[in-house]
Structure 1
Amino acid sequence: MKSGAYSLRLRLLMLLGALLTLGLGVQAALSYKVLLDESEEIFDYQMVQVAQILARGDDLAETLPRTREDGEDLQFYLQVWDAGELEYASDRRNLMPRQAQAGFAETLLAGDRLRIYTEIDGDMQVQVGQDLGERYEVAREVALESAWPMLLVAFSIVLATALIVTLALRPLTRLQAELALRKPGEMMPLEMRGMPAEIVPLAEATNALMARMERAYEQQRQFVSDAAHELRTPLTALLLQNEAIRQADEPTALNEAIAEQRQGIQRAARLVEQLLLLARQEATGEDGTDFDAGKTLKPLLEEYAPLAAKAGIRLALIEQQPLRVRGSLAAFAAVMRNLLDNAIKYTPAGGVVEVHIATDIRVEDSGPGIPETERARVFDRFYRMPGSPGQGSGLGLAIAQTAAASLGAQLHLQSSALGGLAAVLKW
């Protein structure tokens, strides 16, 4: 989904371009101001030099600079007095007012603003003037001409920045291309070698997500495989029982066939329920809450009390000390339900089932127990110990172990002091 997406490359270029434009603009403005000031100083220096040369009495024809009559862009107004008499004027139609003191001054002449420099040497007085407007135009042209190299440099910097940004974002482009080429179900981790440090956290998070998805896919595949394998037999049995019902002629045979079919349906329903419970336990990602194991177990044991009483079994809760557990309440209930189911199912009438709470939780019974050689195998899915009574699915302990792992606990089987089996939930 690309709604609201923006280009990181374009945004970086825009931000860097704006920063460069601002920086170069400030530099250009400062350079422009400095060049104007320096040009004014150069023009003033020229005026002083011309006035001093003329005041020394050098040959005017060789010394005089360009004047208003020369038709150049920047000319001088020149006026020379000797003993109070005007000896020379570059423009006699527009004479500059005679200044009483040496130095710079500004005045208006024929609507133009002039800058005048006066040099006095005895009876000799020299005035050199320049049009301030023309001076500014010349200085501005010089300043603008000097800006062209700066513009070329700025353009080169922008191009270099665009290239650098493109190269810097190449790992992201490579990452995107690698992910785009993957087929469904390909969850290999991303190659981290040569990846910039700024992108490593993103790649690590992506790899962690892929690992979780791989586990989820594997669990899904396992569930489908297990369900297909285990449901085939009860469904076949149901079809045979249905055929037996159709062919039954006598009421007694019909009732027996219907009863067998009902038991088959119950076994299939129980199997489906166990399969779904196992799938939920494997897929759960709940953080859980902190709860008291004893308070949580009491209503669960009250639920099993009638079942135990009907089977002639004494069910007891022995809480030696409070135990706090952190995890999913549903996972905790799944562990305890399966352990209590097994304990009550395999304990004969007159037996005992006890739940002990201390630093761990122990479900002990006085049943036949499980040989030590079989205790590891009974956690396998669909495994039932040879000679086991009843019609179990072989999923109870697998579910309990998976749920225990989600609680951060380990489930162990060992001999009980009651003579049967002890299932220990240890943190």
Structure 2
Amino acid sequence: MKSLRAQLLVLLTAAVLLAAIVQAVVVFNNAMREADAVFDYHLQQLALSLASGDLGLPGFGPGGHARDDVDYVVQVWSPDGQRIYVSRPRLELPDQAVLGYANVNVGTQQWRVFSMQAGGRTIQVAQPLLSRRALALTFAFSSVWPMLLIAPILLLAVAWVVRRSLKPLRALSQELENRAATSFDPLEPQAVMLEMQPVVRAMNGLFARTRQAFDTQQMFVADAAHELRSPLAALKVQIQMLGRAHDDAARQLALQRLGSGLDRATHLVEQLLALARADSGGQESVEPTSLTQAARLALSDTFELAQIRGVDAGLEQADEITVEAPPNGLRMLARNLVDNALRYTPAGGRVDLRVRREGGCAVLEVDDSGPGIPPEERPRVFDRFYRRETSPPGGSGLGLAIVKTVADRSRAQISLLDSPLGGLRVRVLFGCPEQGSPTHVPGAVTA
């Protein structure tokens, strides 16, 4: 059942009906027992009144008898065993040797008999059980019927209570329906009932995450529009120059510049798409992933760039290590580190990768023989679209920003150090213990 209101109505109605039925049964049984007790008490009182004397009973005396149209039957026995009184001459109850209450069958009818002795006489007072039960049922039903009348009133009260209890939930749903698509203001938990406050707090958390995703998307769109404007404008100029070329040499130069411009625009678009995937990394789950395989794939993906730039790139140490990270994100992180190192390393230079363990951490290191980065500029290189003045052409300023985004999602630590090759060393630490940090390296800048 999907409706909370209908479910509450059904459950509470069932509870009210069950309680009413149980109470009616209990009250009915108690009424029947009390009626029997009252009728037994009447039998006893009648016998006691007869024991005090003849009380002027009609026909009282030896062989005497009275009318047979009364509900009770009375018999009196003399000390010598002679019946001296009977209220119904055509109905004779057997002589009861046992005093007190007993059920006696006379013909097809059952009687309730009370016997006692007084002054040597034995007095019996009897009443038909069928008559007793008819009177008891009348008494019991008169006790139960008010409850049957109250049950519908209780059901109406239950429906009213359910409707009133769900009113805050309806108000909350109306408030959410009337909200604008771009409104992420938190709800006030104290304004709702205590039971709804965890739901409101969870919704506020969802609003905060949605606001962050929305702001990230807006920032990405703005950055993409800003960064694509210059390459596209340059491509337009180069196409115009190609159209104005008058000889083969000028045409060849224009084609070469146009190709370079297309390469830069393609690289920028690829980095923007990579950054968009990294920002929306919630779609890819974090799972055990081979760090060594990611390093190998990074070298394979950038092999052509290394050949073009004349840089010796290789995997110097490759321990088989698995880390908790998004698989595609980890490959993107390693590829961007290698790509960034290749673009800053001059021809004839060197780029080395290492995958190893250090203490309780998995380590990915990328060394290059490029110009390096001055310590004062290292904290800024993780900003989006940040490029140093001495940066080589063709970069986008997104490589390390993508690395940091993936590292944050993988709970990894990034450090920028001086490389023994003369350039920059980028160290990424995965899975470090919470207690105790990895060994500090002088001059390291951690993102």
Aligned to 1:29: 25
Q: CA deviation at 1:284?
A: 1.0
Superposition pairs of residues 47-126 of structure 1, within 5 angstroms: 47-60=43-56, 75-78=71-74, 89=87, 95-101=90-96, 104-108=102-106, 114-117=111-114, 121=118
Q: TM-score if structure 1 supplies the norm length?
A: 0.81
Counterpart position of 2:419:
416
Q: 1:26, CA displacement in angstroms? A: 2.5
1:192 to 186, 189, 197: 189
Q: How do residues 227-376 of structure 1 correspond to structure 2 at under 5 angstroms?
A: 227-248=224-245, 250-285=247-282, 286-305=284-303, 307-319=305-317, 323-358=321-356, 359=358, 360-376=363-379
| 2:7 aligned partner | 11
| Partner residue in 1 for 2:173 | 176
Q: Which moved more, 1:279-288 or 1:264-273?
A: 264-273
Kindly provide the amino acid, as one letter, of the partner of residue 135 in structure 2: V
Q: Distance in 2 between matches of 1:46 and 1:268?
A: 111
1:222 partnered with 2:219: yes
Deviations 1:334-389 (A, max 9, x none): 12222222222222223222223343322222212223332233322222212422
* 1:397 correspondence with 2:400: yes
* Kept after mapping to 2: 8 A contact 1:315/1:353: yes
For residues 218 and 58 of structure 1, what CA distance do their matches in structure 2 show? 108
Aligned in 2, Cα 1:356/1:101: closer, same or farther, shift over 3 Å?
A: closer
Per-residue CA deviations over 1:38-83 (Å, capped at 9, x if unaligned) read: 2122112212322332343253379x9xx8758xxxx434566889
Work out whether residues 311 and 351 of structure 2, in 8 Å CA contact, stay in contact via their aligned partners in 1. Answer: yes
CA deviation string 1:170-222 (max 9, x = no partner): 55445434433322122233333366665454444433333332222222212
Segment of structure 1 superposing worse, 131-140 or 251-260: 251-260
Change (3 A) 1:301 1:247: closer
2:388 to 379, 385, 388: 385
Provide closer, same or farther for how the CA distance between residues 248 and 369 of structure 1 changes in structure 2, counting only shifts above 3 A: same
Matched with 2:441 is none
Could you tell me which runs of 5 or more consecutive residues in structure 2 were left unpaired when the two chains were aligned.
61-66, 431-447
The change in CA–CA distance for 1:252 and 1:134 in structure 2 (over 3 A counts) is same
- Which residue is equivalent to 2:208? 211
The change in CA–CA distance for 1:192 and 1:56 in structure 2 (over 3 A counts) is same
Distance 2:382 2:123 in 1: 117
What is residue 434 of structure 2 aligned with on the other side? Answer: none
Taking the aligned partners of 1:8 and 1:120, their CA distance within structure 2 comes to: 70
Flag the 1:229–1:338 CA change in 2: closer, same or farther, 3 A: same
Tell me if structure 1 keeps the 8 A contact 2:190–2:197: no
SS in 2 for 1:353: strand
CA distance in 2, matches of 1:266, 1:314: 22
Shift in CA distance, 68/191, structure 1 to aligned 2, threshold 3 Å: farther
| 1:407 correspondence with 2:402 | no
* Greater Cα shift, 288-297 or 115-124: 115-124
So what's the TM-score if we normalise by structure 2?
0.78
Q: Which moved more, 1:127-136 or 1:30-39?
A: 127-136
Contact 1:219 1:279 in 2 (8 A): no
Q: Which segment is superposed worse, 384-393 or 251-260?
A: 251-260
**Counterpart amino acid of 1:414?**
L
Displacement after TM superposition at 1:276 (Å): 0.7
| Residue 41 (structure 1) aligned with residue 37 (structure 2) | yes
Q: Do the aligned partners of residues 417 and 147 (structure 1) sit closer, same or farther apart at CA in structure 2, a change above 3 Å counting?
A: same
In 2, Cα distance between equivalents of 1:320 and 1:276:
29
Percent of matched pairs sharing the same residue: 37
Q: Which amino acid aligns with 1:59?
A: L
Stretches of structure 1 lacking an aligned partner (at least 5 in a row): none
Counterpart contact for 1:116–1:129, Cα < 8 Å: yes
